[in-house]
Structure 1
Amino acid sequence: MNPLGIHALVWAGDLGPESTRRVISQTRRAGYDLIELSLHGSQLMDLALTRDLLQEHGLQVGCSRGLTFAADVSSEDPHVVARGVALLEEGVSITHALGGHYFGGILYGAMAKYAHPCTVQGRRNAVAAVKRVAAFAGERGVILGLEVVNRYESNLLNTATQALAMIDAVGAPNVKVHLDTYHMNIEEVDFMQPVLACREQLGYVHIGESHRGYLGSGTIDFAQFFKALALIDYQGVVTFESFSSTVVNEELSNALAIWRNLWGDGMDLALHAHGFMVQGLHAARMGLAHCAPAK
C-alpha cells in the first residue's frame, strides 16, 4: 500500500507550536503516514519542536510552497527571480531540517492568475531556477516536485506533458512530476493518460475532489485515476488535500480562493478520506491482479 498523507490545512491554518502539536497528533490519530506542511508563514514554525513531534508520532513529512509575483522565478526581472530562488532554497532547507525528503508545489512561478502567457525568457529563467534549486536539494537528499496546476494558478505548467517537458529541460534526476486530481479535472483529457505518460517521473500525488470537499461527493473519476496508478505500479505517497473556510491560512486560502465552508469536522473528513483512498487503491491493484494472465 502506498504511504498516505494529509495536508496540514485540514487541521490548522498556521504552524505555531500549539497548532503544530494538533496537526501532528491528529494526523497520526487518523491513521496517516505523512503530514504535508505548507511553508506559507513558515517563519512561525519551531523546527526543533516539529521534528521532535514527527519522530515521537512516527510520521514522515513533506513540504510545499507556492511563490508570489514578487518572487516569481518565471519573471524577466533577475532581482525577482533571485528572491524566488532564495525562497525555494529556504523551503528545501526547512524540509531537510525536519527530516523530510520531498519539497513540492508551484516551484516554477507565481501561484496566481496571470494576465498574459509566459514569455520565452520567463520560461528560460524558470528552468534555470529549478535547475539551481535541484542541485541545492540534491545535496540534501530532497526531491523537488513540480505540481501541475490549473490555468488560474499558473501560466506555465497546466498539464503533465508540460511538466515532463520542463523536467527534460532541467535535466536533474531529483525533479519529478506532482499530479493533483483537482487540477487534472480542469485541464487534462482524462485521469488515465497523464499518469501513464509520467510513469517513473511521477514523484508525488495529491488526491482532491472537484470542489475540494469530501472525496466521492464531486465529479472526479477516482477509479480511473487509481487504476492508472496501479498500471504504472506507483509506490509513492498519495496525499489527501482539502480546503474549507473552517480552517484559514489567509495567504494560502485566499490564493486558492477558498470562499466556502465545505466541511466543519476535520477528523471526520480525514477518516473518510483515509478509508476512501485505502479502498480505491486496493481495489485498483486487485482488479489488475485478477486480469493478469495465469502462469
Structure 2
Amino acid sequence: MPRFGAHAFIWAAEWSPEAAEKVVAGAAEAGLDFVEIPLLRPERFDVALTRRLLQQYGLGCTCSLALPVEASLPEHPEAATRFLMQALDTAHRLGSPVLTGVTYATLGALSGRAPSNEDYAVIVRALKPVARHAARLGMRLGLEPVNRYETYLLNLAAQGLALIERLDEPNVFLHLDTYHMNIEEKGFRDPIVRAGRHLGYIHLSESDRGTPGTGNVHWDEVFAGLSEIGFGGDLVMESFVTLNPEIARATCMWRKVVEDPQAMVREGLAFLRRKAHQYGLLT
C-alpha cells in the first residue's frame, strides 16, 4: 500500500533546528507517514538533530535533491558522482529508503540546444556507480523529469524510462510530478500507465504549485492511472509555500501561490486523500 507524505517546503524554506522542528511537527500533525527532506547541501546537514525529531514524532523520511552548479551534468560527471555518493550516505543515515529528484541535472541550467546521445552517455557513466552504491545501502535512486524551463535533459516520462533502460540498474525508478506533467505531457493517465512498475514515487502538485484540487491538473486521470498499475510507491503532496533563494531562482517562483498555508495543508491533503481512497490506493 502506498505511503502518504509531503515536501518540507510546505512548512519551511531552510533546515535550521527551528525550521526542522516546524516541518516535522507539521507533518506529524497532518497525519502523514513521512516528510520529504531536500538535501541541497548534504555536507552541511544535521543528521543527528533530524533523526531525533523524526523519532520523537514517529515519522519516516525520504530525501530529494538537484545537482549543484559545481556538480552539474553532463559538464562535471566526476563531481556529480561524488556529490550523489555523499548525499546517499547522508540519506541512509537519516533512514530514507530513496534518494530522488533531479539527480541527473542542475535546475535552471539550460544548454540552448537539444540533448545529445553523448549527454545521456555521460549521465549514465556518472549515475551507474551511484545506483550501485545505493543498492549496497539497501536504497533506490529516483529520476524526476521536470519541465523544459528547468532542464533540457528529461522532460517526459518516456525520456526518464529510456534513461532507466540505459542505466540498467534494478534499483533505479521513475519519479513523476503532476506539475511538470501538466506542462509537458499530453495527459496524465497514459504516462503513468506506460511507466508501470518503474514508477516508484509521485509528487502530487497543482498546476500553480498551490492547493491541490484548485487548479488545472486532471486528478481523476492521475489517480485512475495509479490505480490501474497497482501503484505501491510514495504519494507526496508538493506545494511550494516557502522556498529558499536557490530553489526560487531555479524554479522562477516569485509570488505567493497560497495565502493561508495552514488551510492549504488541511484542504489539499484532504482532497488528495479522498482521491486516493476513491481509487483504492488507500484503505
* TM score, norm. by length of structure 2: 0.95
Residue 94 of structure 2 corresponds to residue 98 of structure 1: yes
Contact 1:74–1:118 (Cα < 8 Å) also in 2: no
Contact 2:43–2:86 (Cα < 8 Å) also in 1: no
How far the C-alpha of 1:254 sits from its partner, in A, is: 1.6
Structure 2 Cα separation of the partners of residues 188 and 172 of structure 1: 26
Q: 2:66 corresponds to which residue?
A: 66
Residue 234 of structure 2 corresponds to residue 233 of structure 1: no
Contact 1:73–1:82 (Cα < 8 Å) also in 2: no
SS at match of 2:104: strand
Residue 35 of structure 2 corresponds to residue 35 of structure 1: yes
SS at match of 2:141: strand
SS at match of 1:185: helix
Identity over aligned pairs, percent: 35
Contact 1:137–1:143 (Cα < 8 Å) also in 2: yes
Residue 160 of structure 2 corresponds to residue 163 of structure 1: yes
How far the C-alpha of 1:113 sits from its partner, in A, is: 4.4
Contact 2:145–2:175 (Cα < 8 Å) also in 1: yes
1:9-48 paired onto structure 2 within 5 Å? 9-48=9-48
1:44-73 deviations in Å (ceiling 9; x for gaps): 432011012112211111111111343112
* TM score, norm. by length of structure 1: 0.91
Residue 131 of structure 2 corresponds to residue 137 of structure 1: no
Give the letter aligned to residue 103 of structure 1: L
Quick one: which of 247, 263, 272 aligns to 1:277? 272
1:164-202 deviations in Å (ceiling 9; x for gaps): 111111010110000000000011111011111111110
How far the C-alpha of 1:22 sits from its partner, in A, is: 1.0
Contact 2:81–2:126 (Cα < 8 Å) also in 1: yes
How far the C-alpha of 1:99 sits from its partner, in A, is: 0.7
Structure 1 Cα separation of the partners of residues 50 and 219 of structure 2: 33
Contact 2:71–2:77 (Cα < 8 Å) also in 1: yes
Q: Which has the larger Rg?
A: 1
SS at match of 2:61: strand
Q: 1:200 corresponds to which residue?
A: 197
Contact 2:42–2:86 (Cα < 8 Å) also in 1: no
1:135-183 deviations in Å (ceiling 9; x for gaps): 1111111111100111111211111111111111101011000000000
SS at match of 1:108: coil
The RMSD of aligned alpha carbons is: 1.4
Structure 2 Cα separation of the partners of residues 121 and 31 of structure 1: 45
Q: Which runs of 5 or more residues in structure 1 are unaligned? A: 287-295
Residue 255 of structure 2 corresponds to residue 260 of structure 1: yes
Q: 1:2 corresponds to which residue?
A: 2
Structure 1 Cα separation of the partners of residues 98 and 265 of structure 2: 22
Give the letter aligned to residue 118 of structure 1: P
Question: How many residues get paired?
Answer: 280
Q: 1:292 corresponds to which residue?
A: none
Q: 2:146 corresponds to which residue?
A: 149
